Amino acid sequence: MKFKNSFYLPSGRVFLLETDDGYPVECTEMRDVSVQGKQHYEVRNTQDPHIIWKHLKPYEEKWLLTVSTQKGCVHNCKFCDVADLKFKGNLSKSEILQQVNFLLSSTPYVQESAKVKIGFARMGEPAHNLKNVLGAMFSLFEFDRKFNWLPCFNTILPRKTTEGLSGEDVLKKVIDFKEDVYKGFLHLQISCNSTDEQKRKELFGGADVLSIKEIVNYINNYSSPITQRTVTLNFIVMKGVPIDVDYLMELGLNPERFAVKLIPLNNTVQSQENNLVTLANYSNYEDLEALRDKFKQHKIPVVIDAIAKCEEAGLCCGQLAHIFV
Ligand code: SF4
């Protein structure tokens, strides 16, 4: 895999590498910009990178990486700019690790970190490449840095993977791996986006995915406790897209096993073309907090994952690749 290009954001970089067969693959390294209260408002709304720089967490505390798992994606999610790149198959375990190696060798000054969160989530659906993705996660320990790795498996959870696994098989393999290999320190995040299954299907471009009911049942009945990191249900919040907290509670959403993440819709080409509009963002953040509070009333751990306004351009998956394909 060779270096092709890079794109700078106030909090980090998006890299474009190229596979031996000429496919552009994105990976990223970012720092966290987490601040509370009045300063949080300031960071979210600013167009001034200096304000972001002032609030970056030290690498030693937390570092955020992402790597791609496939050349493009078989799915066609209406909010994602990977969707309209050509799909050319899985990345090998070695190609996934080459991205990690590239990110580490581009940042030789980061030798230790209490938490390196690495999302196998940039381009591609990792469930379709499970063996290579879990194999790459396993090999993270071999990198010669003093890191506490926190791998993240972000999935829309297809009912059947291209390798022939069921959605339940994927859940079992990922959770077993999380508990056995990472002693719970692996983050499984399942893209939900709506509690209306018809709407979900539409947003996933018609993909047949496990229903939220099936997911909740499976996780609630998983034979052992879910330790350290509970399973996170991700909701990209969009206008006209229902998120029914009471329905989730009726399904049995258990705070011992689940958390929820609320994410404003990023400004992607696909979301604009498909007329998707975020429920809340910089100007009406309170609406997002109101939804968060509904989950909190039921004691469901919930985080809001809002990016800063001046980070938005080019941050989204597939956007750098698009410039060069
Ligand atoms: S969101 Fe994930 S599954 Fe959907 S098109 Fe993008 S990369 Fe593929």
Residue 276: what pLDDT?
A: 94
Q: Are strands 2-9 and 12-18 parallel, antiparallel or unpaired?
A: antiparallel
**Which of 317, 319, 322 has the most ligand 1 atoms within 8 A of CB, as the residue to mutate?**
317
121 lines ligand 1 (CB under 6 A): no
Contacts of 125 (CB under 8 A, 6+ apart): 69, 70, 73, 74, 75, 155, 156, 158
264 lines ligand 1 (CB under 6 A): no
Split at pLDDT 50, 70, 90, the class of 314 is: low
Is the pLDDT assigned to residue 41 strictly greater than 80?
no
73 lines ligand 1 (CB under 6 A): yes
**CA–CA distance, 13 with 31 (Å, rounded to integer):** 9
Residue 294: what pLDDT?
A: 96
What's the CA-to-centroid distance between 86 and ligand 1, angstroms?
A: 12
Residue 313: what pLDDT?
A: 64
Residue 38: what pLDDT?
A: 62
AA identity, residue 25: V
> Helix crossing, 167-180 with 130-139: angle to 10°?
10
Split at pLDDT 50, 70, 90, the class of 71 is: very high
Give this prediction's pTM: 0.95
User: For the chain, what is the mean pLDDT?
Assistant: 92
209 lines ligand 1 (CB under 6 A): no
Q: For residues 6 and 102, is the Cβ–Cβ distance under 8 A?
A: no
Residue 39: what pLDDT?
A: 65
**CA–CA distance, 195 with 271 (Å, rounded to integer):** 19
Is the pLDDT assigned to residue 250 strictly greater than 70?
yes
Please give the biggest Cα pair distance in the chain: 52
Split at pLDDT 50, 70, 90, the class of 280 is: confident
Contacts of 290 (CB under 8 A, 6+ apart): none
pLDDT digits (tens, 9 = 90+) for 128-159: 999 999 999 999 999 999 999 999 999 999 99
What's the CA-to-centroid distance between 319 and ligand 1, angstroms?
A: 13
Residue 45: what pLDDT?
A: 73
Of the chain, the end-to-end C-alpha distance in Å amounts to 16
AA identity, residue 115: K
What's the CA-to-centroid distance between 318 and ligand 1, angstroms?
A: 10
Residue 316: what pLDDT?
A: 77
What mean pLDDT is predicted for residues 20-27? 95
**Beta-bridge partners for 119:** 66, 152
pLDDT digits (tens, 9 = 90+) for 83-95: 888 999 999 999 9
Nearest CA, atom 3, ligand 1 = 125
Return the SS3 of 267: coil
Query: Following CA atoms 192, 202, 70, 138 in sequence, which dihedral angle do they give, to the nearest 10 degrees?
Result: 20
156 lines ligand 1 (CB under 6 A): yes
Q: How many residues does the chain have?
A: 325
**CA–CA distance, 273 with 292 (Å, rounded to integer):** 28
Which comes out higher in pLDDT, residue 95 or 40?
A: 95
Is the pLDDT assigned to residue 191 strictly greater than 80?
yes
316 lines ligand 1 (CB under 6 A): no
Is the pLDDT assigned to residue 37 strictly greater than 70?
no
